[in-house]
Structure 1
Amino acid sequence: MKLNVVVLELSGILDGIRGNELRHEVSGFVTKGADIVLIDMKKVTFIDSSGLGAIVSAMQMVRNTNGKLFVCSISDQVRMLFELTKIDRIVQTFADQDEFNRQVLATQ
């Protein structure tokens, strides 16, 4: 069975406005049958509480359809925020897309 994997590359500031866009995009991917959503945050320069909420909301949307959501390429600042808010306990992160491919896709 071939998995439908979608990679969403974010950039700039992940705030309330961009968070709403993220929710909308992920909702569209889920509607189209995405099994796995990977959010690549390599180009994200800042994230606020609304952005964190959007990631959690997106994860719930994906999980509600028995899919999986992962995040990769987070900066040290975002990693610290994930740890402080305990999001790192519910969202699995990877160093980059290559590590994601090796650890998730290679095992499918």
Structure 2
Amino acid sequence: MDSMVVKVVQPQGILDGIKSNQLRQEVGDILANGANTVLIDLENVNFMDSSGLSALVSALKMVRTAGGKLYLCSINEQLQMVFELTRMDRVFETFANQDDFYLSHK
């Protein structure tokens, strides 16, 4: 890959309305600073509501609009269930963890 600039976002705790806005803002800032690849590591997110899912979709749209790519990693069982029920598991490219992501993008 040529000049892939990866920035990792690591939300914590519950990904709800307030944290969702912070996530959108953080992804926007990352894109404004020239990164073209965003990896959202969900390892420390133990619950996500619909606004959290909406924030991830918004982030994906922002990144794609900027010509970049967005990936997710470290999705726990609760989040995986949400992704499968909403069929978002077909929309997002996911990895087991950060190491898995970096190994596949060498």
Alignment of 1:54 onto 2:55: yes
Report deviation, 1:2.
2.3
After TM superposition, the score normalised by the length of structure 1 is: 0.94
Alignment of 1:78 onto 2:79: yes
Tell me the alpha carbon deviations over residues 60-99 of structure 1, each in whole angstroms, 9 at most, x when there is no partner.
0000011000000010110010011111111111100011
Residue matched to 1:3: 4
Q: Secondary structure at the match of 1:30?
A: helix
User: Which runs of at least 4 in structure 1 moved beyond 6 Å after TM superposition?
Assistant: none
Distance 1:3 1:101 in 2: 11
Distance 1:33 1:89 in 2: 27
Pairing 1:17-32 to 2, within 5 Å after superposition? 17-32=18-33
Q: Which stretch of the first structure deviates more once superposed, 1-10 or 58-67?
A: 1-10
Counterpart of 1:23 in structure 2: which amino acid? Answer: R
Tell me the alpha carbon deviations over residues 6-58 of structure 1, each in whole angstroms, 9 at most, x when there is no partner.
00111100001000000000001111111100000101010000000000000
Distance 1:80 1:13 in 2: 15
Counterpart of 2:24 in structure 1: which amino acid? Answer: R
How many residue pairs are counted as aligned between the two chains? 105
Alignment of 1:66 onto 2:67: yes
Residue segments in structure 1 that go unaligned for 5+ positions in a row: none
Higher percent of residues as strand: 1
Residue segments in structure 2 that go unaligned for 5+ positions in a row: none
Distance 1:41 1:84 in 2: 18
Q: Secondary structure at the match of 2:62?
A: helix
After TM superposition, the score normalised by the length of structure 2 is: 0.96
